[in-house]
Amino acid sequence: MFPVLLAVAALAAEGQNNPVPYSKKSIGQGRNVYIRHCAGCHGNDGKATVDVVADATDLTNPKAYTGGTSDGEIARNIRNGRNASMPAFGSQFKNEQELWNLVNFIRSLWPESTRPSLQPDPKE
């Protein structure tokens, strides 16, 4: 039964869309979140070359992601954690927008040909 629940959760995460447009503003706000919560293990450049965690994922290489590369899967892995070396960070965010801005920033680290198309910043 437990593997079935994991499979259902994985499918749900894969299909979850990012409600925050992939824009310069979102990427910049996501970078601030990244520096606070992620750079200690994944490094300022996302390449995971710091010696804190031996198996931190190189965030600049989506092929290295073992938990999926859709926005929903990335958000789920950040929110719930992946394993002993990737703890859950869901309680660290002020709101869901911070999480989705972080997802956008992480995607901005990918090779240009694999990034989403940049969208205009929303009018406020």
The pTM is what? 0.86
- In this predicted model, what pLDDT tens digit does every residue of 9-36 receive, in sequence order? 444 566 789 999 999 999 999 999 999 9
In angstroms, the CA 35 to CA 10 distance is: 27
pLDDT in tens, 67-116: 999 999 999 999 999 888 889 999 999 999 999 999 999 999 999 999 99
Q: Which domains does the chain have, with CATH numbers?
A: 23-114 (1.10.760.10)
CB 45 within 8 A of CB 34: no
Dist CA 40 CA 18 (whole Å): 25
